[in-house]
Structures are given as C-alpha cells and as structure tokens.
C-alpha cells in the first residue's frame, strides 16, 4: 500500500498542469473531426503568443508584451483584458454588450484560455473546404485580427485500431498463460499506456481525467503484488476506464492530445487489450485457487429387511 500511495503522489506531481486562467469552464473535450488552425496575427505582435488547445476547443493567449491586450467579444465589446498584472474579464460580456465594461480579475497569470464560438465549423458549406474565422484583438485603440481556419478531416480506419486492440489482448493473454513471470512487463505496459495518454492530454493544454490516471496506477501496483482478485480488478478498471471509454479516438481525426494521433490511439488500444488479458487471467486464477467441490452425500437411507 505504501508503494501504491507513492505512485499516486508522484503521478499527481507529474501530471498536475500549470493553471492559466479559464474564462469559461467545461468538460474534457472529446475527439473531433474538425481541425482548428491559427494562420496568424496581423500585424505580428512581439511577445504575444496564441495557440489552440484541447483539440481546438479553446484558444490560449499568452501576453508577454508588457502592456494590455484585449480580446473583443461577439459584438465588438471588451471581453477579456490580459494585463501585466493578470487577466480580467468583463462580466457584462456577452449578456449585455452595450453596457459599460465591469471588470473582474480572474487570475494573476498573463495566460488565459477561453472557448470562442467564432472558432468552429459554421456550415453548411462544402464539407472538405476550410472555413475562415477571425477573432478581433485590441491594444489600446488599435484593433488587429487573429485569423485562422477550421477544416474537416477524414477519420482513420477504426477497424484497424480495434484489430490492434484484439491482437494486444491475445498476445498478452498468451504470454500470461505460458510465462507467469510475464505479468510484470505486461502490467507495466498496460499501466503506462493510460498515463502516457494523460501526459499527452496535459501537453495539449487539457487536464487529464483522474479516473484515467487511477486506471493506469492500478496495473502498476500489480507489478509488485498481484493476487488473483487484484489482478482481475485492476485489469477490469484498465479495460473499462482507459480503454472502452476512450475508443472514440479510434474513429476521430483530431484528438485532444499532443503529438502524433496514431500514438495516442495505440495507447488506448494497448490499455484495452492488456486490461482484458489481465482481467481474464485474474478470473481464471481465482477459479483455479478455489477448493475442490466436495462430493454430495445422498441422504437416502437403505432399509434392510431381516
């Protein structure tokens, strides 16, 4: 238990992301078929960095210019003001864009993330033709645009990733059956897969799901001790919460992760396959450890006639 607690503490320290201000709350974004790209700021502003995060669900602005930069709202009203001393939000935007700005400080950071409805597929349009979007910014009285595109991308072949997950399950199960000591490397691969996916989510600006992190830590604990019940439990949690719940990644082109999307899909497939193999192996070892059933004793009595 001490080692498992240590794993939880270390994982929390490694995965806790830096916390820039969030102008809008929201859940962890799902994989999507639309790619959001930023084409530029016109004219370029030294010290001002803007990127898309969470599969394009949010924009992130970092202001190191030394002066205030405003994000204008849907009606041209001030919405966010990123100043050298922190980030401020106009609480009258967008509900009452004609009212004078009422500023509320939301963070001491000079980095802010927000969801913007202008940065999305507007349709109907041609599905394969990119659409342009613009978000106006302001420095004092000078307004300059942030521009970009949103485009549909063809999905990957989900069947190939389901096949890969099945091959992972068959290989891991065969290894556990023929070589019992193979549990340690199998559990290590299974546990590291969702943790790697969580780290990739963090690098993309998102917050990893605690359930996903715990689902990865449970198999890592099985590397040290692996009684049959715990083996079945950790494998089931891995397959369900790091595999089945993440399989939308198999059929979506854009994932809320950093790096190649194929690598993120491989993490999900390995978690699913290894989790199934560990769960089945644990159940089989549980059944093998049960005491043999006692033969039934008939209560019928035989009458002896003298």
Residue 9 predicted with pLDDT over 50: no
Q: Which of 21-30, 126-135, 158-167 is predicted least confidently?
A: 21-30
What is the residue-wise DSSP string for 239-274? HHHTTGGGGGGGG-SB-SSSS-HHHHHHHHHHHHHH
Give how far Cα 112 sits from Cα of 61, 64, 116, 218, Å: 5, 12, 12, 34
Give span(s): CATH 2.60.40, the chain: 34-152
Q: How many CB atoms lie within 10 A of CB 53?
A: 19
Dihedral pair phi/psi, residue 41, rounded to 5°: -115, 130
* Inter-residue contact 42 to 132 (CB < 8 Å): no
Each residue of 188-237: pLDDT tens digit? Answer: 999 999 999 999 999 998 888 899 999 999 999 998 887 899 999 999 99
**How much is the average pLDDT of 117-145?**
84
If pLDDT is split at 50, 70 and 90, which confidence band does 23 have?
A: low
**How much is the average pLDDT of 17-25?**
48
| Helical spans, DSSP H, in the chain | 2-15, 158-178, 183-203, 210-222, 228-241, 261-289
Task: Give the predicted TM-score (pTM) of the model.
Answer: 0.78
User: How many residues are there in the chain?
Assistant: 306
Residue 278 predicted with pLDDT over 50: yes
Class of domain 34-152 (CATH, top level): mainly beta
The whole-number pLDDT of residue 207 equals 82
């Amino acid at each position: 238990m001490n080692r498992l607690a240590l794993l939880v503490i270390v994982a929390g320290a490694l995965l806790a992301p830096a916390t820039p201000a969030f102008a809008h709350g929201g859940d962890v974004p799902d994989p999507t078929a639309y790619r959001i790209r930023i084409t530029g700021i016109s004219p370029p502003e030294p010290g001002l960095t803007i990127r898309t995060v969470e599969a394009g669900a949010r924009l992130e602005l970092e202001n190191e210019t030394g002066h205030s930069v405003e994000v204008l709202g849907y009606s041209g009203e001030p919405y966010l003001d990123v100043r050298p001393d922190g980030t401020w939000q106009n609480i009258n935007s967008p509900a009452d864009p004609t009212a004078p700005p009422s500023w509320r400080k939301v963070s001491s950071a000079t980095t802010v993330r927000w969801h913007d409805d202008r940065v999305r597929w507007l349709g109907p349009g041609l599905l394969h033709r990119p659409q342009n979007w613009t978000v106006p910014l302001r420095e004092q009285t000078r307004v300059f645009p942030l521009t970009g595109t949103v485009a549909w991308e063809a999905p990957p072949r989900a069947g190939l990733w389901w096949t890969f997950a099945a091959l992972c399950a068959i290989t891991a199960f065969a290894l556990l059956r023929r070589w019992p000591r193979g549990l340690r490397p199998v559990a290590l691969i299974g546990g590291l897969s969702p943790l790697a996916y969580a780290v990739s989510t963090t690098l993309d600006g998102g917050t990893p799901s605690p359930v996903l992190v715990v689902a990865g830590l449970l198999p890592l604990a099985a590397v040290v001790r692996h009684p049959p019940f715990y083996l079945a439990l950790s494998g089931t949690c891995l397959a369900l919460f790091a595999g089945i719940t993440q399989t939308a990644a198999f059929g979506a082109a854009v994932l809320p992760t950093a790096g190649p999307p194929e690598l993120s899909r491989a993490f999900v497939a390995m978690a699913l396959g290894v989790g199934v193999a560990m769960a089945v192996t644990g159940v089989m070892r549980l059944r093998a450890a049960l005491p043999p059933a006692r033969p039934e004793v008939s209560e019928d009595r035989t009458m002896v006639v003298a």
